[in-house]
Structure 1
Amino acid sequence: MAISTSGGGQENWSSRAAFIFAAVGSAVGLGNIWRFPYIAGENGGGAFVLIYIFFVFLIGWPVLVSELAIGRYAGKSPIGSVEKIAVDSGKSANWKWLGFLGTFAGGLALLSYYSVIAGWVMAYVIKALTGTFVGITAPEAQAELANHYANGPMMAFWHLAFICLTIFIVGKGIKGGLEKAVLYLMPMLFVILLVLVGYSMAVGNFQQGLAYLFAPDFSKITAGVVIAALGQALFSLSVAVGTMFAYGAYLSKDISITKSAGIIAAADTGVALLAGLAIFPLVFAFGLQPNSGPGLLFETLPVAFAQMPGGILFGTLFFVLLGVAAITSSISLLEPAVSYFGEKLGMGRWVAAIIAGGIAFTIGLLSVFSFNDWAEFYPLAFLGLSELAGSPATFYQINDFFVSNIVLPIGGLFVALFAGWAVSSETIRKELDLPEGGLFAFWRVLIRFICPAALVVILVSGLS
């Protein structure tokens, strides 16, 4: 298919399928397959899942629709798009700082430590493939991860390898890089995930895993569970990091934003649930704990794979799945900065990708060494903050807390306020190609009232 261009010569997605795959790839990442299962495990399973799904569509969908509409209207980088639609709506050009927040404080900052975790995944693909986990016990798996943490140069190598792969894909452009990557990788991700669910059905305690995910125990619902579900929905859909502004800018006018956003939200949720179905039956079958926290995938699952028939093959497939999910998200985190550098500074795409990726890599080194040489260095100790969210306040923890608890909620809140109150309602309605009333009225109520209220709750909770 030939790729189309906008009036300014900017590439567009060559088809609706290409855009859907790219946007789903952005949303589907480690947040679904690494983060969702352990967050669900820590918050009681089914009750959390039900609330999470509710928030994906009540909060995530309207914010996603808003970012895509603003991006397509202006056809620029996230910063340029926000500025243009603000000025055209008779509002201050200073709204462009919302674009800066998502592009740099959100996207690049998140990528800087996201790629460190993705580097662990790449290393674990090799470990699984070479039989490192054969016969491994729980203490040995914990020691394996501890040894990985302790080797700073090796962690830096895998961090660099992942960033370079991201730069390579983004540098090749929309059709040559982003589209090709997602059109191959996203079907691969779904196939591997379905194979792993089938394997989990065969060798795991599938009935218990199914009940854990889909039989809610409402007695487990607390304020903390509700807030955790809201935070996971926001994190999972890749809103407030500039990505959907950028992807919307490459979207042709004949594609329905509201329908596409619904497909993206549904696919993203579906992957998270499938990941739970692949993981929890194995956890229960082999006597592991579903609330094992962030180490669930790196410490407990290698033990499960070690005891399974075909454990080397399926363990390798699992970590390949994680790697595919990580790369489809990382390219979307780099793209907003690349589009801005090209638009405002006149950089060629390759130069912009190398510079933006280099910034993320350099910042990420702080996170790399937070696990070894600087593990006991707490940069905010002079403010009396040696812990954040119950964990030692290393560079990694500070970055994660800053992005997850501050930038994402604030970014989502201001996207909702901007789209709901600052941007001309008629401009958004025309961009969405919707009549007055009906779905447009529903979106407007959500974006003006429900989303801001919910995001204020998560922001206050995250800072308390």
Structure 2
Amino acid sequence: MSLSKGQNSLNDKNERFSSAGFILAAIGSAAGLGNIWKFPYITGQYGGAAFFMLFIVCLLLVGLPVLLAELALGRAGRGSAASAMVKVGGHPVWGKLSIMYVIIPFVILSFYSIVGGWTLHYAIQAFTGKLFSNNDFAGQFAAFSSGYAPLAWLLIVFAICAVVVILGVSNGIEKFNKILIPAKVILLLVLMVNALLLPGSGAGVAFFLNPDFSKLTIESALVALGHAFFSLSLGMGIMVTYGAYVDRRQSLGTAALAIGGGDLIYAFIAGMIIFPTTFSFGINPAQGPSLVFIALPAAFSAMPFGSFFGGLFFVLLAVAAIGSMVSLLEVPVAYVMERFRWSRIRSVIIVSVLCLLMGVPSALSMGLVPELKVGGKSFFDFVDFTASNIFLPLGGLMVVIFAGYYWKNAAEQANLKPVWFRIWLFALRYIAPILMLLVFLHTSGIIKF
């Protein structure tokens, strides 16, 4: 494939989704590590079903309206996330602000890919039985994450993503997700059935489905809102970029509902895997990020066919991570293709190398070079905190302000019936901005509840 300028432009036929392919790709992006890794432990912390119900409300009030706004903006702009606002009539200053939508996924990808590498390593370790040869799972994780091995796994998962994105939208991202999503569904169902058959699993199901409203606070509401936003891949340019590849005949309202529904079902099934498993083996489901890499391996080691089911679980995590990584990589790739008129293969290679270079200090800061710190945090934690708690809420706030107050043709592009358009516009103007501002103030540490 030639590296000449202009080849594989964003207007090529290969740079379009089919209707089903678009929905599958969007769900593949949304249904990532967050709903398996983060959702269970924050649900455990904030009241089980009560938090899950709050999560649903946040999806409806904020998640779906913002999702529709991003998709409509992308389809109307037919370009990268950085140019969409200007292309639909926005002042050039919006273009300067929109560069944030290229920076955010690039930064997230630099550390998210490290965790993706961990999951692939753990899948192989589980299937071979090496993961369960030593019951010191905390020690195993510390030894692995603080060594050189994560750099190799970082390179492997990045290479997989790069190949998918090089192949283009229809031949790469769409076809990849047409395999990935059914595989993910099968893995989810097999793991859920196994979890429900474990002795004592009923207590976990009861915890997940019986609400404890006493644990609901302003903080839990903001956590639910932040997770709803993150789980739908909002505020980071992904859905704006994917919207640019959608056929104009596609109903965006229907697509938004399908994406939101897929994300919700995915989170529910993840809960039906994690909570029965943790309760069956006396594990605290609210213990935080260590749940996946330390606590759950202990559970798999104690159950029949633990190597098999543990391997399936980490394959599920790896598949989910790579699906999200593909969508994250596509955003800056689309930008450099448009901005510099580079070919897709050249764009993917350059963006991937730069992102890998940024990921190296994050990986090293986990143990090999603990002195790599910024503001008292390890480089990994600093990049994670900055992207997730500052950039993402600001990115979301920017799109709701633009779509709700500035964009004159929003109604035409969203293609909603008048009553639904008024509801959508009300949510964008009066509900989403206030709540997103509160999330930003809370997650950035400016205010505490």
By the TM > 0.5 criterion, same fold? yes
Question: Are 2:116 and 1:118 aligned?
Answer: yes
1:404 is aligned to: 388
Question: Are 2:11 and 1:30 aligned?
Answer: no
Whole-angstrom CA distance in 1 between matches of 2:397 and 2:12: 32
Tell whether the 8 Å contact from 1:56 to 1:233 is kept in structure 2 after alignment: yes
Question: Are 2:427 and 1:429 aligned?
Answer: no
Tell whether the 8 Å contact from 1:82 to 1:98 is kept in structure 2 after alignment: no
| One of 62, 66, 82 as aligned partner of 1:63 | 66
- Cα drift, residue 376 of structure 1: 4.1
- Cα drift, residue 204 of structure 1: 4.8
Which residue identity does 1:394 align to in structure 2?
A: S
2:131 match: secondary structure: coil
- Cα drift, residue 7 of structure 1: 10
- Cα drift, residue 432 of structure 1: 1.9
Question: Are 2:44 and 1:41 aligned?
Answer: yes
Question: Are 2:125 and 1:143 aligned?
Answer: no
- In the superposition, relative to structure 1, how do residues 462 and 14 fare at CA in structure 2: closer, same or farther (>3 Å)? closer
Whole-angstrom CA distance in 2 between matches of 1:376 and 1:46: 41
Runs of 4+ residues deviating >6 angstroms: none
Which residue identity does 1:448 align to in structure 2?
A: R
Using structure 2 for the length normalisation, give the TM-score. 0.95
| One of 170, 176, 188 as aligned partner of 1:175 | 170
1:309 match: secondary structure: coil
Could you report, residue by residue, the CA deviation over 1:179-228 in whole angstroms, capped at 9, with x for unpaired residues? Answer: 11100011100110011000011115332222222211111112221111
2:229 is aligned to: 234
1:79 match: secondary structure: coil
Whole-angstrom CA distance in 1 between matches of 2:222 and 2:175: 37
Which residue identity does 1:20 align to in structure 2?
A: I
Question: Are 2:351 and 1:356 aligned?
Answer: yes
Which residue identity does 1:431 align to in structure 2?
A: Q
For residues 35-434 of structure 1, the aligned pairs below 5 Å read 35-85=38-88, 88=89, 91-104=90-103, 106-134=104-132, 136-137=134-135, 140-151=136-147, 153-380=148-375, 386=376, 393-424=377-408, 427-434=409-416
1:293 match: secondary structure: coil
Could you report, residue by residue, the CA deviation over 1:384-416 in whole angstroms, capped at 9, with x for unpaired residues? Answer: xx2xxxxxx111111111011101101001110
- In the superposition, relative to structure 1, how do residues 376 and 6 fare at CA in structure 2: closer, same or farther (>3 Å)? closer
Tell whether the 8 Å contact from 1:283 to 1:290 is kept in structure 2 after alignment: yes
- Cα drift, residue 369 of structure 1: 0.8
- Cα drift, residue 10 of structure 1: 5.0
| One of 449, 453, 460 as aligned partner of 2:430 | 449
Could you report, residue by residue, the CA deviation over 1:259-310 in whole angstroms, capped at 9, with x for unpaired residues? Answer: 1011101111110111111111010011111112101010011111111111
Whole-angstrom CA distance in 2 between matches of 1:172 and 1:150: 34
Tell whether the 8 Å contact from 2:114 to 2:359 is kept in structure 1 after alignment: yes
Give the aligned length.
438
Whole-angstrom CA distance in 2 between matches of 1:218 and 1:296: 24
Which residue identity does 2:143 align to in structure 1?
A: N
1:389 is aligned to: none
Using structure 1 for the length normalisation, give the TM-score. 0.92
Tell whether the 8 Å contact from 1:12 to 1:252 is kept in structure 2 after alignment: no
Could you report, residue by residue, the CA deviation over 1:131-168 in whole angstroms, capped at 9, with x for unpaired residues? Answer: 0233653xx011110111221x2111111111111111
Tell whether the 8 Å contact from 2:173 to 2:326 is kept in structure 1 after alignment: yes
Could you report, residue by residue, the CA deviation over 1:35-90 in whole angstroms, capped at 9, with x for unpaired residues? Answer: 111221232322211111110121111111001001101111111212211xx2xx
2:374 match: secondary structure: coil
Whole-angstrom CA distance in 2 between matches of 1:307 and 1:26: 33
